[in-house]
Structure 1
Amino acid sequence: MICAFIVMKCEGFSMITDLVDYLNNNLLIAHYCGFDITAPLPSYWTFDRFLKNFDHSVLSSIMESQVLLLASQGIVDTSFIGLDSTPVAANTSQNNQKSFLPDKFKPDKQPKADRDCKLGVHTASNKLNEKNYAFYWGYKNHVLVDCISGLPLYELTTTADIHDSSVALDILASTHSFLPVTECTFLADKGYDVKNIYHQVHSFYQGECIIPLNKRNTKNPKLLPQGNPICEAGLAMWKDGTFSDNGRTRQKFCCPLKSSKHADCPCHHKNFYNGKKHRGCTKYMTLPDDLRLSIDRESSYFKRNYSLRTECERYNSRFKSTGQERMWVRNQTSVANLNTFAHISLLAVAVAVITTRSGQSYRKIKTVKRIA
């Protein structure tokens, strides 16, 4: 059964019915999978029950053994690793673009076809003003990729409502348990720009993070070359001490005319005429006292290393080509098992190329199938 599902993903089938038809029309492949071709092959419902009831830890151990084999051959390592997630749509009519159901993307409108899926949102990029986004019911597949070879190291399936950054440290810890990620360079997009990820990678794994800054709706005030902001009246503001707040250090800037008795605010700011001794507007700037804010993201070193993260996007494209962009099963266990089968099949292609020494690319399934 495991071999049959690997065949399913190598052929790019998204439905179990396609696998059943393929095996019945290619009895030699069914024989290589281990089935008795003198007897009727398993039905659709047999494959469906297998997916739903099979222990996922067995598939995880198979994928782990593949990664360790490739690591022993020097194909994969953890020098540059990237983490990204890809949406997996559930098998429900509410994901149909031609469906005109009212309020089909409300969190309390749980699809009856799949009680495990959750509501998520998929955007075209991580820009703050990104308007190209879409809601969907389904799951996410989080994949840790070796950014040099473009092969997966670890994967995790969650529901679509789980934020990417919330599972990043768990994925790194699980990978480190069988393949050390010490002194790694961790690459990710803005969705993983969280302070605890920087500190965990630096303190526990002695590595570094290459992650763009997510400004989180922060404003960009006009600054002088010395770093002092400019008030609404066009005057340079003065430093007025620092203080700590919620684990961060902030620099306070005040109005340069606040202590003057006879001055008048050029823009007539409302805070200047409040009758208080310390009058005028104030601004605050967070000082870069942590790893997240101390990274020079305009340097050539950062840009050169961050360009390696495109391997995550390339691998996600190969993952979707196995038929995993849209699910046709109706529970989380089956979805997680199918996702792992897809990763196992892509790793199996690389293992086949290395074992046979064919000299072909271990990223191209069609090329390997052609020479088999």
Structure 2
Amino acid sequence: MKAENFAEISDLIDYLRNNLIIAHLCGFDITKKLPSYCTFERLLKNFDHKYLSYVMQNQVNILKDFGLISGESISLDSTPIKANTKFNNPKSFPKNKFSKDNQPKSDKDCRLGVHTASNDSSNKNYEFYWGYKNHIIIDCLSGLPIAEVTTPANIPDFDAAIPLLSETNNWFNLDGVNFIADKGYDVKKVYNFVRNTLPGHCFIPLNKRGSKKHNLTDDGHVVCDAGIPMIKDGKEYFDGFIKQKHRCKYYKSKDDSLCPCYHPKYFNGKKYRGCIKYTSISTDYRSSINRNPIHFKSKYKLRTESER
């Protein structure tokens, strides 16, 4: 059905009846009557997915023994699977068709998801859909799939990544693997899992997620709105990062003319006047990765295998 792009079981049955050679190659006994529509439908509904996963795992391990799959560098990505519902039809215009409370009656398991053209937060090119996501791990050198899992569409990519990697590591050794993924997987728990559990190396670009950008001097001082370098005024230590406080250098002054832009916070009437800004100094594995060298960029280019 997938190879011939058949949407209905009836199309498959008609095709097999008119192409008995194909039916024979698929394993059917063409000297007897081919299975009925109900048999195919019962197979699709009742066949446990774990059997297909077991077959795939064995095939992958055979290819690994042959040296066709190395597992040295893997890439993970997801693709949307739209549910068979009228809400996904662009020519359908019911009210609130993409409301979370408006669950399609034809598919009680699907969930509302969003498909974007890229993981750039400023990209406005996106669409909502009802359905699922298929998450696939690819061997970057051969381009062959290693493992997959299907989740409802509302599950974020990074939430599906760790269980899939953990399960795959149980039967496919991922020790020291190079894990390559796009910005959708740029979260600390993915980095920490790859680094501490596998252990491996991450090649994931940063997703700044609307973080504030401050103008800094060469020695790390924040430049205020008036263009004056601020002074550092203590640090707060958290798990994985350090919060650096920056304060107006004239915060103890009583001279109103020292602030060139006459900022409202300079005239706040408090004991310590002026602006206060904060910067974060990360100390975790995610922030320690240098993403500029050729080595990182050459490895990240292998991610295109998962796109294909």
TM range (shorter): over 0.9
Q: Structure 1, residues 4-44: CA drift from partner, whole Å, max 9, x if none? A: xxxx3333434323321221111122223332323321122
Q: Tell me which residue corresponds to 1:248.
A: 241
Structure 2 distance, partners of 1:221, 1:248, is: 17
Q: Tell me which residue corresponds to 2:276.
A: 282
Equivalent position to 2:143, from 125, 137, 150: 150
Q: Larger helix proportion, structure 1 or 2?
A: 1
Q: Tell me which residue corresponds to 1:37.
A: 30
Q: Which has the higher contact order (CA 8 A, sep 6+)?
A: 1
Establish whether residue 258 from structure 1 lines up as the match of residue 251 from structure 2: yes
| Letter matched to residue 2 of structure 2 | K
8 Å contact kept, 2:240–2:282: no
Task: Tell me which moved more, 236-245 or 28-37.
Answer: 28-37
Alignment of 1:64-213 (within 5 A): 64-213=57-206
Q: Tell me which residue corresponds to 2:290.
A: 296
Q: Structure 1, residues 278-318: CA drift from partner, whole Å, max 9, x if none? A: 2211111110201111222222222111111011101xxxx
CA change 1:15–1:147 in 2 (3 A) is farther
Structure 2 distance, partners of 1:225, 1:45, is: 73
What is the SS of the residue equivalent to 1:221?
A: coil
Structure 2 distance, partners of 1:20, 1:278, is: 81
Residue 245 of structure 1 deviates from its aligned partner by: 4.2
Structure 2 distance, partners of 1:299, 1:227, is: 23
What is the SS of the residue equivalent to 2:179?
A: strand
Q: Tell me which residue corresponds to 2:262.
A: 268
Identity of aligned residues (%): 52
Structure 2 distance, partners of 1:291, 1:40, is: 61
TM normalised by structure 2 equals: 0.95
Structure 1 distance, partners of 2:205, 2:109, is: 33
What is the SS of the residue equivalent to 2:76?
A: strand
Write out the 4+ residue segments of structure 1 that deviate beyond 6 Å after TM superposition.
none
Task: Tell me which moved more, 55-64 or 40-49.
Answer: 40-49
Structure 1 distance, partners of 2:6, 2:65, is: 31
| Letter matched to residue 298 of structure 1 | N
TM normalised by structure 1 equals: 0.79
Task: Tell me which moved more, 121-130 or 201-210.
Answer: 201-210
Q: Structure 1, residues 127-184: CA drift from partner, whole Å, max 9, x if none? A: 1111110000000000000111111000000010111000111111111111110101
Q: Tell me which residue corresponds to 1:347.
A: none
Q: Structure 1, residues 295-350: CA drift from partner, whole Å, max 9, x if none? A: 22222222111111011101xxxxxxxxxxxxxxxxxxxxxxxxxxxxxxxxxxxx
RMSD between superposed Cα atoms in Å: 1.5
8 Å contact kept, 2:240–2:284: no
| Letter matched to residue 176 of structure 2 | E
Structure 2 distance, partners of 1:311, 1:247, is: 32
Q: Report how many aligned residue pairs link the two structures.
A: 307
What is the SS of the residue equivalent to 2:269?
A: coil
Structure 2 distance, partners of 1:301, 1:32, is: 46
Alignment of 1:353-372 (within 5 A): none
8 Å contact kept, 2:183–2:204: yes
Structure 2 distance, partners of 1:312, 1:237, is: 46
Give 5+ residue unaligned stretches, structure 1: 1-7, 315-372
| Letter matched to residue 279 of structure 2 | M
Equivalent position to 1:25, from 4, 13, 18: 18
| Letter matched to residue 245 of structure 2 | K
What is the SS of the residue equivalent to 1:177?
A: helix
Task: Tell me which moved more, 289-298 or 185-194.
Answer: 289-298
Structure 2 distance, partners of 1:69, 1:213, is: 36
Q: Tell me which residue corresponds to 2:227.
A: 234
